[in-house]
Amino acid sequence: MTTPHPAADSITPSPAPAADSPALRRLREFGRAPRIVALDIARGLAVLGMAAAHTVALPGEILWNDSSTWVEIVSGRSSILFAVLAGVSIAIMTGRTRVPRGAELGPLRLRLIGRGLVIFAIGLVLELLGTNIAVILTFYGAVYAVAILFIGVRIRTLLIWAAGLAVVGPALVAAIIALSGSADGSGIGFLLNGTYSIVPWTALMLAGLALGRLDLTRRRTAALTLLVGIVLSAVGYTAGALWGDAAYEDESGPFLSSSSSSSSDDVPYPSVIPGDEADLSGMLCEDYGDGYLSCYPEEEYVEFPSEESLGDDEWLPEEGGNGWESYPQSIAESDMGGTVFAAFISSGPHSGGSMEILGSGGFALAVIGLLLLTGQALRYVLLPIAAIGSMPLTAYTAHVIAIWIVIGPSGWTQPALLYPFLAAGLLVACTAWAIFVGRGPLERLTARISARLSPAQR
């Protein structure tokens, strides 16, 4: 007699594994391929660095034997890291290692235009808040528009363009502005003369675009990026330090305020004393009648003639004092050679000089290369920073709004603990949002609008 096999329904089934909650799934998968967590960490560092530049009293120079000055490293370098990462992001959005061709370029360009318009509009709103922050997003949006010209270009050509704009671009722009005379229109200021300029930013974006076309998951690529970044940074900062003094010996020369060789210690910072303690003996003061006085040493005071003492003809410019007749003299007085050399050699933050592009651009590449080598191993340790970098548009906007709420429009006085609380708030809020919700709110908005402006790709 055979032993009957137990009925199938008598077998107790193994309990099914409990389904992960969406939050646990996002936490477990955060930063895994195809996403490159090192880039998120780099973006997060860039945002935190810009927040520090906007809320911390910077010393004006870095002294490696004085750790209190090391915070100066965020000045200018954070925004340049952001610019290089913009190029990397554009490469990832347009095919990664594969250069798009033919009919696929049209939809990709429309998406970039749409994304750039949304970022530009958000930047305008932040500027309307009236803070004293040089909002980066308007220019960041403009860079997306420039990128449409280069997304179908090979890596070699991208590097040639980036090198040409970095080395020759600033000097060429300085020469054009000097030759044009008083080129101070709003468009010129936005593109060429502002805190952010289209020439260095295009060079940096193209360098990032070329980097993004490489296989960033390979350790060889990461090591090469780190090495190239160190070399470029050493060349840029060394040249700026060694030759910069010669370019700025004439204190009346151009680009002085942007020079790495100039120091805030050269100009005495004004002290505030009660009015009854001010010694104005030997001074002549102009009383504007509204509580303001302008006082000068008596021997240096030159009285401005009153309107009544001058005839109408005396307000007219002297004959031959303007237009083409005075143009050669104004060019001769502009010190063209010094202007061009200063634009080339300047390595100071936000100077837009060639050596700043090489020095700070190389620094950005070195940071990216180092994080590509170590980021995956430190994925959970640096998760809060990576969470900020996964939603950089949202985090940047939030930090500007927070500063506006605390300080107010046109405010300069900053609470001593503003940055620690601001940084902690960004780290906690972005981490919670990334785990419990996912993609950042402004990142969702830009993706939806850019997708609507582009026909579906087939």
Among the listed residues 446, 431, 427, the one whose alpha carbon sits nearest the alpha carbon of residue 47: 427
Question: Over 70: is that where the pLDDT of 311 sits?
Answer: no
pLDDT value for 456: 55
Q: Would you call 395 helix, strand, or coil by DSSP?
A: helix
**Position 176 pLDDT exceeds 60:** yes
Evaluate if residue 354 carries a pLDDT over 60: yes
Q: With CA atoms as reference, report the closest residue to 95 among 152, 30, 36.
A: 152
Give the bridge partners for 421, in sequence order: none
Q: Give the integer Cα–Cα distance in Å for 46 and 372.
A: 15
Percent of the chain exceeding pLDDT 90 equals: 51
71-82 pLDDT per residue, tens: 899 999 999 999
Contact 170, 324 (CB under 8 A): no
Q: pTM for the complete prediction?
A: 0.79
Average pLDDT over every residue of 429-442: 94
Any domain includes 295 = no
- Return the pLDDT at 257: 36
- The answer to whether position 135 is within a domain reads yes
The boundaries of the domain holding residue 160 are 31-260+344-452
Q: What is the DSSP letter of 412?
A: -
pLDDT, position 244: 63
Over the stretch 99-143, which tens digit does the pLDDT of each residue have? 999 999 999 999 999 999 999 999 999 999 999 898 999 989 999
Task: At 237, give phi and psi (nearest 5°).
Answer: -75, -35
pLDDT reported for residue 434: 94
Determine how many CB atoms are found less than 10 A away from the CB of residue 172.
16
- pLDDT of 175 > 90? The answer is no
8 A C-beta contact, residue 384 and residue 431: yes
Indicate whether 311 belongs to any domain: no
The answer to whether residues 42 and 409 touch, using CB atoms and an 8 Å cutoff, is: no
pLDDT of the residue at 112: 94
- Residue 328 resides in a domain: no
Q: Is residue 270 part of a domain?
A: no
Q: What is the Cα 243 distance to its own chain's centre?
A: 25
With a pLDDT cut of 70, the percent of the chain lying above it is 80
Which residues lie closer than 8 Å to 436 by C-beta, 6 or more apart? 22, 23, 26
Write the CA distances from 13 to 9, 16, 17, 184, integer angstroms: 9, 9, 12, 79
Token pair of 398 as six digits: 């939030």
DSSP code, position 287: E
User: pLDDT-based confidence at 278, cuts 50/70/90?
Assistant: confident
Q: Is residue 308 part of a domain?
A: no
Mean pLDDT over each residue of the chain, to the nearest integer: 82
| Nearby residues of 143 by Cβ (< 8 Å), 6 or more positions away | 83, 86, 116, 198, 201, 202, 205
pLDDT of residue 164: 96
Residue 128: count other Cβ atoms within 10 Å of its Cβ: 10
8, part of any domain? no
283 neighbors 295 (Cβ within 8 angstroms): yes
Give the residue carrying structure tokens 């972005």. Answer: 430
Of 375, 121, 346, 128, whose CA–CA distance to 241 is shortest?
346
Whether 423 has a pLDDT exceeding 80, the answer reads yes
Structural domains of the chain, count: 1
pLDDT at 1: 47
Burial level of 389, CB count in 10 A (0-12/13-18/19+)? buried
Q: Is 80 buried (19+), middle (13-18) or exposed (0-12) by CB count in 10 A?
A: buried
Residue 256 lies in a domain: yes
Task: Choose among 176, 168, 233: nearest CA to 368.
Answer: 233
Question: Encoding tokens for residue 171?
Answer: 């000097």
What are phi and psi for residue 272, nearest 5 degrees? -110, 125
